[in-house]
Homo-oligomer: A and B are copies of this chain.
């Protein structure tokens, strides 16, 4: 049984979801607050999750031909100003460097909020001919947006992310890359983070500053709020025209490149917490669990118990060619305390082994996701552990899908729409006429935004949920982080 003291220290998620979230990020030692307002320390347990996310995403990127690069963190004001929509979107929330060393700068520099402008500047230098295309680059870095309200992982003044930026010879190729990366994101969310994603296109109101089209993967958190989990933008040749990124094509004429960008951030860690967690703390999908299996010796001072635990660890390592991340908790804490910590930290599986188990030639495996206890014969340990990790990963995705689907509603008129958002929390599928006025009205009245126009359209009705005019798109609506 988990130790009461530790568990009681966190707020129940039904009681106060926001406080529960804050408790988990602190108690699971993912985050520490700092004296730098709005910025966080990502602690070892949190950063190790990010490293697993990076490794997995980076592999997926490289399989599609992406190269990593590093561009400066500063953008001269004149460069930021070149694309009108873009600067309007970002200028109000950037941090400005005005002094270098003891002297004022001639031109102030903003700390990158995103790097479209710098990539344009770079591609302008290195792209001359169609032979230099496509350019398919990505960088892992931190960016800064001067937010007023901040929350660990979800919204902070500085956050870590990857930003991919590509340049292509044709509009078709750019659109193809935009959608390809959206697919990479949705596969990653489902396969690695066990989070089912809705793929779709943002409305013009919600699209990225400077984009022709923004595509998104939207996920539903446990509390029924939506989280935009990754976006992929097609810029057409708008940035290229503003920055003069041209190439000589095969037909010997000068053309503008077509560009895309796409990004995922450390807010994914927030998504993992809010999709999978429970009142005992974090629940990590095995694919991003820095420790996947914790062996907890019972009565570890009794002769042979610790040795047995180490032997089990070594067998699991050997059988999996070191691919299973397994540890023995041999500290002098009580087993109950160790159980609580393992649950709080979201380690997917614990193995309990004590003198009685040893005598019976077995051990007990406890799944973090379901709480299920499984007696396993010692001889089957290695196979069972590997099998269960696969099962847990699959079952967590399935559980998240069931939760999302059971919190997805539909509405055909505003009364129904209002009623759902008053009584329930989740996605609402409803038709939309395509006019921003209706989005504005819904947002103002209900703090609900259009999350996306999903690729999988359904005909909920033929009228806009808001104005009753003929409908153009089915939209997922929700309250969002």
Contacts and interface: CB of A to CB of B under 8 A. Distances in A.
Interface of A: 32-36, 39-44, 47-48, 50-51, 67-76, 79, 92-102, 109, 111, 118, 121-122, 125-126, 137, 141-142, 144, 146, 157-158, 160
Contact of A47 (B36, B67, B101): B67
B67 A44 contact: yes
Given A36-B74, A43-B69, A72-B158, 9 more contacts: A40-B72, A47-B67, A51-B68, A73-B111, A74-B95, A92-B101, A95-B100, A101-B146, A141-B142
A20 to B, nearest CB: 22
B48 A67 contact: yes
A68 B44 contact: yes
A252 B68 CA distance: 50
Contacts of A98: 96-99
A347 to B, nearest CB: 16
A33 to B, nearest CB: 8
Contacts of A93: 101
12 contacts: A34-B121, A35-B76, A41-B69, A41-B71, A47-B68, A70-B142, A73-B142, A93-B101, A96-B99, A96-B100, A98-B98, A111-B111
A72 B39 contact: yes
Please list the 3 inter-chain residue pairs (A to B) with the smallest Cβ-Cβ separation, ordered nearest first.
A44-B67, A39-B72, A100-B146
Contacts of A125: 32-33
A39 B74 CA distance: 8
Contacts of A47: 67-70
Copies of this subunit: 2
A32 B76 contact: no
A118 to B, nearest CB: 7
A81 to B, nearest CB: 13
Contacts of A97: 95-98, 111
Contacts of A157: 100
Nearest to A44: B67
Contacts of A70: 41-42, 47, 50, 142, 160
B35 A121 contact: yes
Contact of A71 (B34, B51, B74): B34
A346 B370 CA distance: 53
A114 to B, nearest CB: 15
A111 B105 CA distance: 15
Contacts of A32: 122, 125-126
A113 to B, nearest CB: 10
Contacts of A73: 39, 73, 111, 142, 144, 158
A35, A40, A48, most chain B CB atoms within 10 A: A35
A401 B385 CA distance: 49
A240 B44 CA distance: 21
Contacts of A48: 67-68
A36 B141 CA distance: 17
Contacts of A36: 72, 74-76, 79, 109, 118
Contacts of A137: 44
Nearest to A140: B140
A75 B93 CA distance: 19
Contacts of A71: 34, 41-42
A345 to B, nearest CB: 14
A68 B418 CA distance: 46
Contacts of A92: 101-102
Given A125-B32, A146-B101, A69 B44 contact: yes
A158 B43 contact: no
A339 to B, nearest CB: 19
A344 B32 CA distance: 47
B69 A122 contact: no
Contacts of A51: 68
Nearest to A58: B51
